[in-house]
Structure 1
Amino acid sequence: MPRTAPRRRSAPVTLLALLALTACGTPPELREPVATAGPRASTSATPTPSAPPTPPVTPAAPPPTTRIPDPAATPCRGKPSGDRIVALLRGSAGVLPRDVKVTVRTGPLCADGWHYTVLAVTGHEELQVVTRGSSGAPTLVTAGTDVCGVEVRAAGPPGIRTLACDGAPGA
């Protein structure tokens, strides 16, 4: 077997030693932290002090997009007036004749653009009236001894529904 020159033997050994040494460097946990890196778990045996955890920030609730209707009907303070409701019933609505005596017993009570009124009509039963719209020109929704109709139940605000459907007439 031919003998290899000492130079040829030392080259692979030197190359192997260089490769082993170049792989050595500063361990990752001892390197300077990179600014974009997130938090890493510590591998040291001694605990390091840390800041107390901050609670997650909960975003504030967005403002409601629709107004929540008032659950109770309140006095309308003259807009519309009881006389305006009576004029509507005697006029274009044609519910009351002009010669009958009418007295406002309850209301008008308002809730979210709707109005509830109870009228005492001489010689007849009490008349409940539900109107809606602008206080200067209310529109008749329904009038009678039972005003808890489909439109009142489906579209009326809670305060008006309570008076028209659950309350005793004139209460």
Structure 2
Amino acid sequence: MPIALASLAIAVLAGCGAPPELAEPTGVPTHTASPTTPGPSTAPATTPATAPPLATVTPTPDAGLVATACRNGPTGQRVLQLLRGQAGVLPANVRVQVRTGPLCAGDWQFTVLAVTGHEELQVVTRGKPSAPVLVTAGTDVCTIEVRATSPAGIRTLACDAGPANGPGA
């Protein structure tokens, strides 16, 4: 009986070949297509188009993230006029020199003044370059308003850098 069973298994397995999709092709396809004759060309002859050169994109930081030298003002003199004028922070007879700035971030400005005979004076203003409005002035200008509403570049100068800030601080 074992021989009969083995013969049956061999017969069954012998009938199994590779599936047709796995079998090697035996010849070339028999399908023939009739050739088409090309018609007259109606497309105008053109030279291949070339892609325009890629422009170099330089990312720019957000105006409020970093305080940079003010391009359109206010000037240091304008800040001094504000402090000596309507703000009444500096008397007219005190000698003052702009040490840093104004540095701008968004519509805010930061300036450091060297005041003869006194500590440096930090000034935070905001608004139009031609008419800045005083936010605060003193040796520590990290007020609630500056912390809560100023752009990051001004907040870094006024609060994180501490007194005696320098350019690019």
Please point out which of 89, 105, 112 is paired with 2:83. Answer: 89
**Partner secondary structure for residue 154 of structure 1:** helix
Q: Is the 8 A contact 1:114 1:157 kept in 2?
A: yes
Partner in structure 1 of residue 153 of structure 2: 159
Please point out which of 96, 121, 130 is paired with 2:124. Answer: 130
Partner in structure 2 of residue 109 of structure 1: 103
For 1:113-170, what per-residue CA distance to the aligned partner results, in whole angstroms no more than 9, with x for missing partners? 0000000000110000000000000000000000000000000000000000011423
In the alignment, the residues of structure 2 paired with residue 117 and residue 134 of structure 1 have an alpha-carbon distance, to the nearest angstrom, of: 15
Larger Rg belongs to: 1
Partner in structure 2 of residue 31 of structure 1: none
For 1:97-122, what per-residue CA distance to the aligned partner results, in whole angstroms no more than 9, with x for missing partners? 00000000000000000000000000
Identical counterparts, % of pairs: 65
In the alignment, the residues of structure 1 paired with residue 165 and residue 99 of structure 2 have an alpha-carbon distance, to the nearest angstrom, of: 7
Q: Is the 8 A contact 1:69 1:158 kept in 2?
A: no
1:170 maps onto 2:155 in alignment: no
Please point out which of 36, 50, 72 is paired with 2:66. Answer: 72
In the alignment, the residues of structure 1 paired with residue 64 and residue 149 of structure 2 have an alpha-carbon distance, to the nearest angstrom, of: 14
Amino acid at match of 1:117: T
- Per the normalisation by structure 2, the TM-score is 0.60
In the alignment, the residues of structure 2 paired with residue 112 and residue 78 of structure 1 have an alpha-carbon distance, to the nearest angstrom, of: 12
**Partner secondary structure for residue 94 of structure 1:** coil
Report the CA distance between 1:71 and its aligned residue.
1.1
Q: Is the 8 A contact 1:105 1:170 kept in 2?
A: no
In the alignment, the residues of structure 2 paired with residue 119 and residue 149 of structure 1 have an alpha-carbon distance, to the nearest angstrom, of: 18
Q: How many residues align?
A: 105
Report the CA distance between 1:79 and its aligned residue.
0.6
Amino acid at match of 1:113: D
In the alignment, the residues of structure 2 paired with residue 146 and residue 76 of structure 1 have an alpha-carbon distance, to the nearest angstrom, of: 22
RMSD in angstroms over aligned alpha carbons?
Answer: 1.4
What are the ranges of 5 or more consecutive residues in structure 2 without an aligned counterpart? 1-20, 22-61
Report the CA distance between 1:77 and its aligned residue.
3.0
Partner in structure 2 of residue 9 of structure 1: none
**Partner secondary structure for residue 119 of structure 1:** strand
Amino acid at match of 1:93: A
- Per the normalisation by structure 1, the TM-score is 0.59
